[in-house]
Structure 1
Amino acid sequence: MNEKNSDITILKIGGSVITDKSSNEGIVREKAIIRIAREISFFEGPLIIVHGAGSFGHPQAKRYSLAYKFSAEGSGVTHRSVASLNELFVNALAQRNVNAVGIHPMGCLVAKEGRISKSFLLAIQMMLEKGITPVLHGDVVMDTVKGSSVISGDQIVPYLASKLNAYRIGVGSAEDGVLDEHGHPIPLITPDNFEIASMHIGGSENTDVTGGMLGKVKEMLDMSRQTKVPSYIFNANAGGNVMSFLRGEMIGTAIKDKA
């Protein structure tokens, strides 16, 4: 799996975009999913999609305190919740003639103390080669130390980018990018200005056991240091932005290893 796949794009869609994250009932934003699926359908090329869990995962994980202790029941409840959201997203893509297949991280990733440590990605690589779009999601995975861990889409994305040698990453969030003190997107974040930029980065307004915007930026910056792969955090709530990213446009906040 070390061959260079320089044309792989990874697109992450945040849970706050496709669900009502303030809800504890797993409320989906159907219109947003349909719109995003339509924008994705115009893209040609190898694409991996990863979506967040939003109200389909975070409330359940918090209810069972999965960040602090193992619960077989809680792991199952949380996984089934996020898997149901994944099915809705995959079905929307299929209706737009995208050859999408849901991939559950619980079945192909293993963590150690909350960080992905082992994986089976050959099936995903073969899907990309054969024109199938794998759709992963934030999930509960088995953990060799803790029993199970909640693994966010924001951790999965850079992991896949590194292992599969992707060349470009987009992170569709509910914000126009990483915002400065005036509410304007910071055009570029690198290791040189991260400390200053981080003073303006908050967590998630709603229940989020995976780190919010600051967690996103840290994951992408660490990945960029290691792989030189650029990523872009942009507003996926705005119509056309997903398509703009997939067309190769510079959008939102770019995160790179250097200016």
Structure 2
Amino acid sequence: MDNSNITILKIGGSVITDKSADDGAARMDEIERIAGEIAGFEGKLIIVHGAGSFGHPQVKRFGLTGKFDHEGSIITHMSVRKLNTMVVEALNSAGVNALPVHPMACAVSENSRIKSMFLDQIEEMLANGFVPVLHGDMVMDTEMGTSVLSGDQIVPYLAIEMKAARIGIGSAEEGVLDNNGEVIPNISNANFDKIKEYLGGSANTDVTGGMLGKVLELLNLSEGSNSTSYIFNAGNAGNVSGFLNGNNIGTAISGAGTRSI
């Protein structure tokens, strides 16, 4: 399959849910707005969305980052599936031929890192004009029983395995911000040490490493694939469609020392 024109779009859980809620609270207006912005895109697209309040509070409640728990794993998986169903239904209502892909059913981790992922159905979906929609999930883990698999880890894995051309991370921030609240236009290995001090965790419950975790995953991706990723604010109307239309917005993360055009 020709993967040269695959776009991967991540929509953060902080954008489509109230991440400060103790249990799943979806922002349906945001989900529907973003679905509408995605609807105009005609290329091959993979969507990954975060779990937000449908996953992070549950993981914390059951202590799932440190121990195996049957009930906690099931409750968390069923919760993130609910959010995924809302996203997929909104996309289909907007005219996007979206299908759910649950990582619990196709990925296996080892010590919280993806060991293998069955991608054949994703390739067939793309070849036949569907938009696969993955999400942060609990997955089986060869060392831990189950572990948390974040969307921030799924995106670079898919990007490398499927040789995606363009990666967008729609977060609740304008990009990666410095200590004055200004967007850092480019992050690469050349300047990472200098800006690392600006990168904290998330303001709300985040079990996957916040902005620092995102940047580290994307820097590793840029080294493995020569690709550029963009972190931008998906909460601003027009940014998702702008990214899909080819605009370079927010913070660019690449292996090079200068911003890719």
Paired letter, 1:111: S
CA distance in 2, matches of 1:69, 1:195: 32
Could you tell me which of 234, 237, 248 is aligned with 1:236?
234
In structure 1, C-alpha distance between the alignment counterparts of 2:76 and 2:232, rounded to whole Å: 27
Map residues 51-66 of structure 1 onto 2, 5 A cutoff. Answer: 51-66=49-64
Q: Aligned ranges for residues 137-176 of structure 1 at < 5 Å?
A: 137-176=135-174
The corresponding residue for 1:202 is 200
Counterparts of residues 78-227 of structure 1 (less than 5 Å) = 78-227=76-225
Could you report, residue by residue, the CA deviation over 1:16-56 in whole angstroms, capped at 9, with x for unpaired residues? 00000000121111110010000000000100000000000
Matched AA of 1:185 = V
Structure-1 separation of matches of 2:88 and 2:132: 9
Q: 1:43 aligns with which of 41, 44, 48?
A: 41
Alpha-carbon contact 1:4-1:165 (below 8 Å) kept: no
Q: Measure how far apart 1:181 and its partner are.
A: 1.2
Partners of 2:23 and 2:58 within 8 A in 1 = no
Amino acid at match of 2:230: Y
Structure 2 counterpart of 1:225, one-letter code: E
User: Alpha-carbon deviations, 1:168-191, whole Å to 9, x = none?
Assistant: 100000000000111011000000
Contact persistence 1:232–1:250 (CA under 8 A): yes
How many percent identity over aligned positions? 59
- 1:4, CA displacement in angstroms? 5.1
Report if aligned partners of 1:46, 1:128 keep a CA contact under 8 Å in 2: yes
Distance 1:229 1:129 in 2: 22
Displaced runs of 4+ in structure 1, greater than 4 A? none
What do the CA deviations read for 1:180-238 (whole angstroms, capped 9, x no partner)? 11101100000000111111111101111101011000000001100111100000000
Maintained 8 Å contact 2:137/2:148? yes
Aligned counterparts of 1:162 and 1:25: Cα–Cα separation in 2: 33
Displacement after TM superposition at 1:119 (Å): 1.1
Gaps of 5+ in 1: none
Aligned amino acid, residue 120 of structure 1? F
